[in-house]
Amino acid sequence: MTFVLAIDQGTSSSRAILFDERMKLVTSVQEEFQQYYPASGWVEHDPSDLWTTTVGTCREVIERAGIASIEIKAIGITNQRETTIVWDRQTGNPIHNAIVWQDRRTSVFCHELREAGHEPMFTDRTGLLVDPYFSGTKLKWILDNVEGARARAEAGEFLFGPVLAVSVAQPVS
């Protein structure tokens, strides 16, 4: 028999759902993780929590179903696409907590960009509005506020991406 694994790495929990070849639900596992609110309007996750809960729920559905992982023929993933993480390219370790998509810490900077007339350029190039929801200003905040981060990034020591990219970069044990 073959199976499809669905992974939902969400804002408050990670979930793995296993379906059989007829797309009938076999089993699912969900695990919540802690949210951090270091200041008003700020929302963070510990990236290791995202990783361990995602891997843990996947392993548990495989174990509950009593199957071998090789029997999984497809994996679908939904994740926090605008949650931003910067990690060391050599170690795979994050340099700061993940800044969650709903975090508003860069609101003032976004306002300044709009007031300076830069939003049309952003929209033309990306199709997006200038808003703290998107990763770009979160990345700037990390580079400006984590000691030594900008210099190390310019030296090519870091990688940046959303939750999915970090999951792919982590070694699987």
CATH number, domain 3-169: 3.30.420.40
Neighbouring C-alpha atoms within 13 Å toward the C-beta of 68: 3
pTM of the model: 0.87
How far apart CA 153 and CA 57 sit, in angstroms, is 32
Q: For 61-105, what is each residue's pLDDT tens digit?
A: 999 999 999 999 999 998 888 999 999 999 989 999 999 999 999
- Looking at residue 81, its pLDDT comes to 83
Residue 154 CB contacts under 8 Å (≥ 6 apart), including other chains: none
Q: For 13-32, what is each residue's pLDDT tens digit?
A: 999 999 999 999 999 999 99
Spatial contact of 49 and 10, defined as CB atoms under 8 Å apart: no
**Domain assignments of the chain as residue spans, ordered by start:** 3-169
